């Protein structure tokens, strides 16, 4: 493993530092907004601004990379991102924060795209599974650990914002220091959302649900914890519990789905999310049980998107994996932009418990949709193929992460228009199901 990681070590360190800074800022803004007296609905709109910026950044990234190259684009975006972090504490105004979140979303998606495309470019096809597994582990570890930085000081003070800005700035060092050649920038064709929905509706709806609940989680779970009386350390533990649950559950659930009908697995994942959030919403449970339930929910919620992507790969041509996956990522992004705004409005009207109620409702609706698809009398295009694609753990960061999708199962290896920076070796084409549903 060490010989595989060492050539890309600087890139992994860079993304870890970047996630430390951006992950801290995300939770910090929710807590600071609550302490400033902002309404839950307003905080929801602030957090939705990031995902609007994500769309903007997706369209800007290609032009920027072609104009100045990867290292300069990374330096530019990191500098802008660090400046916006500090502006949040220098100008404490919710409407200014919405604009700053849009800028942050645009710059961060370009930063993730640069690192992920670079990793893909530098990784031989036969080692892609190992690198992908390390990348996912680094990403989740950074997101979980950065939550614990909240205990260092109050969100009302300058300290945590300064730490977040410094972490983003320091991510420049390993990326600028690397002697790795910069990847080439090429185009990827568009893929019709209508065609995608026709080929694998459960994958598309699962990605939309995943975006909805995960957007609400990142944006409003800290507010939920704050509103029910948790201190900063307990809120940090709540966020970390969900991320750790996702880390522990994602791969076992995904590998299980390789041998069973993924439609049933998607339904079972959402059923678990439905049950644990419903219990947490309806019953007066102690703090330790809340942590346990949120960890179980995290295991389900973090697994939903990668299983949906695996289900999608089962039903498309291998040549369409990147454009179809990018279109599917767009669906996730739409859900993620809507989630915080809707959740904030409902929480404002009915109380903090509405966040868990919305999680339960979203999962429950998806379970019902899975049952509906399974009971269709005609043969469904989504029927599990005889030789399904191997599951790959994934996180939603940028479209370029789809390029890193390994060709082989991770266990055997030891794991819209976008800027695709290097064509990847195509995996064997999965059997195509008959169209018509």
Q: pLDDT tens for residues 5-46?
A: 676 777 788 888 888 898 899 889 999 998 998 999 999 999
DSSP 203-246: HHHHHHHHHHHHHHHHHHHHHHHHHTT--HHHHHHHHHHHHHHH
- Return left, alpha or beta for 247; rule: phi > 0 is left, psi -120 to 50 is alpha, else beta: alpha
Position 200 pLDDT exceeds 70: yes
Average pLDDT, the chain: 79
Position 402 pLDDT exceeds 60: no
Beta strand ranges found along 143-225 (DSSP E): 186-187
Do the Cβ atoms of 216 and 346 come closer than 8 Å? no
* Residue 221 burial (CB count, 10 A): 21
What whole-number distance in Å separates Cα of residue 306 and Cα of residue 81?
28
Position 52 pLDDT exceeds 90: no
Average pLDDT of the segment spanning 380-409: 53
State the pLDDT at residue 284: 86
**414: helix, strand or coil:** coil
Q: What is the pLDDT of residues 223-260, one digit of tens each?
A: 999 999 998 889 999 999 999 998 888 778 777 777 77
State the pLDDT at residue 401: 54
Residue 133's alpha-carbon distances to 37, 314, 318, 404, 413, in angstroms, are 41, 21, 21, 10, 10
**408: helix, strand or coil:** coil
With 0.85 as the threshold, say if the pTM is over it: no
State the pLDDT at residue 414: 33
* Residue 111 burial (CB count, 10 A): 29
Position 190 pLDDT exceeds 90: no
What whole-number distance in Å separates Cα of residue 129 and Cα of residue 411?
9
**430: helix, strand or coil:** coil
What whole-number distance in Å separates Cα of residue 175 and Cα of residue 119?
12
Q: What is the pLDDT of residues 257-310, one digit of tens each?
A: 777 778 888 899 999 999 999 999 998 889 999 999 999 999 888 888 888 877
Helix axes 262-282, 354-374, angle to 10 degrees: 150
Do the Cβ atoms of 203 and 312 come closer than 8 Å? yes
* Residue 134 burial (CB count, 10 A): 18
- Say which range, 93-97, 312-316, 427-431, has the weakest mean pLDDT: 427-431
Residue 4's alpha-carbon distances to 70, 424, 435, in angstroms, are 22, 18, 41
State the pLDDT at residue 123: 65
Instruction: Give the rounded percent of residues in the chain with a pLDDT score beyond 70.
Output: 77
Position 382 pLDDT exceeds 70: no
State the pLDDT at residue 88: 93
Compute and round to an integer the Cα radius of gyration of the chain.
20
Q: What is the pLDDT of residues 353-372, one digit of tens each?
A: 999 999 999 999 999 999 99
Position 114 pLDDT exceeds 90: no
- Return left, alpha or beta for 229; rule: phi > 0 is left, psi -120 to 50 is alpha, else beta: left
What whole-number distance in Å separates Cα of residue 358 and Cα of residue 336?
14
What whole-number distance in Å separates Cα of residue 57 and Cα of residue 154?
31
Domains annotated for the chain, with CATH where assigned, are 1-177 (1.20.1250.20), 191-396 (1.20.1250.20)
Average pLDDT of the segment spanning 94-122: 84
pLDDT band of residue 433 (cuts 50, 70, 90) is: very low
Q: What is the pLDDT of residues 296-355, one digit of tens each?
A: 999 888 888 888 877 887 777 766 666 777 777 778 888 888 989 999 999 999 999 999
pLDDT band of residue 405 (cuts 50, 70, 90) is: low
């Amino acid at each position: 493993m060490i010989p595989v990681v060492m050539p890309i070590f600087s890139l992994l360190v860079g993304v870890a530092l970047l996630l430390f800074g951006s992950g801290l800022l995300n939770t910090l803004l929710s807590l600071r907004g609550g302490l400033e007296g902002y309404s839950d609905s307003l905080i929801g709109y602030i957090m939705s601004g990031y995902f609007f910026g994500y769309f903007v950044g997706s369209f800007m990234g290609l032009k920027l990379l072609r104009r100045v190259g990867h290292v300069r684009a990374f330096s530019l975006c990191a500098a802008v991102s660090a400046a916006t972090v500090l502006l949040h504490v220098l100008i404490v105004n919710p409407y200014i924060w919405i604009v700053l979140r849009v800028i942050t979303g645009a710059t961060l998606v370009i930063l993730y795209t640069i690192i992920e495309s670079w990793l893909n470019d530098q990784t031989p096809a036969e080692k892609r599974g190992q690198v992908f597994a390390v990348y996912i582990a680094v990403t989740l570890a950074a997101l979980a650990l950065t939550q614990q930085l909240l205990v260092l000081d109050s969100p009302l003070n300058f300290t945590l914002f300064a730490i977040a800005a410094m972490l983003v700035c320091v991510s420049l060092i390993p990326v600028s220091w690397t002697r790795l050649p910069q990847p080439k920038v090429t185009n990827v064709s568009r893929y019709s959302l209508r065609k995608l929905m026709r080929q694998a509706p459960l994958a598309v709806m699962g990605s939309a649900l995943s975006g909805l609940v995960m957007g609400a989680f990142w944006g409003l779970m800290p507010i939920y914890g704050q509103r029910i009386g948790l201190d900063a350390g307990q809120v940090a533990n709540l966020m970390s519990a969900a991320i750790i649950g996702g880390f522990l559950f994602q791969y076992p659930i995904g590998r299980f789905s390789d041998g069973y009908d993924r439609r049933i697995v998607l339904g079972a994942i959402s059923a678990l999310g439905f049950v644990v959030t419903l219990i947490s919403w309806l019953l007066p449970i102690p703090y330790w049980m809340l942590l346990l339930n949120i960890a179980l929910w995290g295991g389900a919620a973090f697994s939903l998107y990668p299983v949906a992507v695996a289900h999608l790969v089962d039903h498309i041509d291998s040549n369409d994996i990147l454009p179809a996956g990018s279109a599917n990522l767009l669906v996730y992004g739409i859900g993620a932009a809507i989630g915080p705004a809707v959740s904030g409005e409902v929480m404002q009207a009915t109380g903090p418990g509405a966040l868990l109620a919305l999680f339960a409702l979203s999962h429950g609706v998806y379970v019902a949709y899975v049952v509906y698809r399974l009971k269709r009398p005609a043969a469904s295009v989504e029927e599990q193929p005889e030789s399904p694609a191997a599951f790959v753990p994934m996180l939603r960061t940028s479209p370029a992460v789809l390029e890193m999708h390994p060709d082989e199962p991770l266990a055997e290896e030891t794991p819209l228009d976008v800027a695709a920076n290097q064509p990847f070796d195509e995996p064997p084409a999965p059997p195509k199901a008959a169209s018509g549903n």
